[in-house]
Amino acid sequence: MLAVERISSLDDPRLEIYRNLRETNGKRDQRVFVAEGPTVVKRLLNSDFRIRHLLISDRKFAAFEGLLPPDIHVMRTTPELAEQLVGFPFHCGVIACAERRPDVELSELIPRTGPSIIIAGEHITDPENSGALIRIAAAFGATAALFTRDSADPFSRRVLRVSMGNVLFLPVLQPAEMPVTLTQLSNQFQFRIVRTVLQPEAIRLQDYAFPERSVLVFGNEYDGVTEGLQKLPGDSVTIPMLNGTDSLNVAVSSGIFLHQYRSQWS
């Protein structure tokens, strides 16, 4: 039987993880993360992440009660008290705290043979873009997503929400040195590095034949792929644009590139 604890005071130390979420957003250094909203929390419940506890408002409890496993620690409170805690209107009605998993080796994720597509984001600082990249990568069957450590935290509240919880199922890694990791993918696992650029001399996407094992590199929203990554062996590919348009949002361009790869390697 589900055990539900009534919370009537904000002094409970277990609530600290949820306090002023708009200001804190991520909990990278605490090895935990906060999932917010019905869709993301439902996907968290269906994942293999360990959930420490779940906080739910009275308004959402009836809709969620049948989805909660009996071994989960559930805290229930009023919408008004929850709003005071998180620091904004608690329309979503449910949040949960879960533990991050230990980092895994890239070699554990990659198929030894056959088609595989990986995305690599360099200095993707906007959580909205990071979340969208993860969601799009999952939609097109990516093996994994890599982000430099100066990118937005993949398990921040906003990235989780924009990714629609796909970060819980698509392996997301943040290697210490992206050039080293890309070189490893190239030399040890036969991946071709495919840089997405705006340079007019680059290969036009419609003319490019993707190798079956490709790693798509996306640069910062403003500065593009850095010179260091452009010097690595690989290909530079661009999306031709009309009407004087000089660039696309990184998430939009990722969908175009991934669709093109998947149309060649379904």
For residue 224, pLDDT beyond 70: yes
Q: Tell me how far CA of residue 12 lies from CA of 5, 6, 34, 105, in angstroms.
A: 12, 11, 17, 38
pLDDT of residue 13: 84
Asked whether the beta carbons of 68 and 94 are under 8 A apart, the reply is no
How does pLDDT run across 88-111, given as a tens digit for each residue? 888 889 999 999 998 888 889 999
Domains of the chain (ranges; CATH) run 4-99 (3.30.1330.30), 106-264 (3.40.1280.10)
pLDDT of residue 29: 63
Predicted TM-score of the model (pTM)? 0.92
User: Where is average pLDDT lowest: 14-18, 141-145, 231-235?
Assistant: 14-18
pLDDT of residue 23: 59
Structure tokens at 191: 């991946």
For residue 180, pLDDT beyond 60: yes
C-alpha span between 115 and 210 (Å, rounded): 10
Q: What is the mean pLDDT of residues 179-184?
A: 97
Minimal CA–CA distance to 169: which of 84, 47, 45?
Answer: 47
